[in-house]
């Protein structure tokens, strides 16, 4: 039987015989199922640091209220605000990651990772076609 290609894109090839990703090759005969998995970035640490920045702003405002406008309170407020802005920017740059999970006789494997959900869905669709074609 001739090898039939179901998907060839960005270094990924799905055929009736093989699933090739840039780092390894899987035999289609060993793949029993395939699914998409979404990994959401961990933001707990960033949120805690934002709360710390807000605490600095409130402490600085307390220093300014108690002592009048002075360098110490203003510096603490400015540092707290810069910290908050930098952390909010960092959070805005985080993206979900999507994985192709393969189930084989030896367990589950993350075969491919991308931030492009549409690409991962095309790969999963190609793998499903190959599994169906295999019979």
Q: For the chain, list residues with pLDDT below 70.
A: 1, 135
The domain locations on the chain are 5-41+95-134, 44-93
Residue 40 per-residue DSSP state: P
- CA 76 from chain centre, in angstroms, equals 34
The confidence score (pLDDT) of residue 135 equals 65
The confidence score (pLDDT) of residue 96 equals 95
The confidence score (pLDDT) of residue 1 equals 60
Task: Give the span between the Cα atoms of 32 and 15, in whole angstroms.
Answer: 15
Burial of 98 (0-12, 13-18, 19+ CB in 10 A): buried
């Amino acid at each position: 039987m001739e090898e039939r290609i179901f998907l060839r894109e960005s270094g990924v090839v799905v055929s009736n015989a093989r699933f090739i990703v840039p780092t390894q090759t899987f035999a289609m005969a060993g793949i029993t199922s395939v699914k998409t998995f979404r990994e959401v970035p961990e933001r707990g640490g960033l949120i805690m640091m934002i709360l710390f920045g807000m605490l600095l702003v409130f402490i600085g405002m307390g220093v300014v209220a108690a002592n009048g406008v002075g360098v110490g309170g203003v510096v603490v407020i400015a540092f707290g605000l810069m910290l908050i802005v930098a952390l909010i920017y960092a959070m805005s740059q985080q993206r979900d990651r999507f994985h192709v999970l393969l189930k084989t006789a030896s367990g589950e494997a993350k075969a491919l990772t991308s931030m492009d959900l549409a690409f991962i869905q095309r790969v999963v669709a190609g793998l499903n076609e190959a599994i169906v074609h295999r019979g």
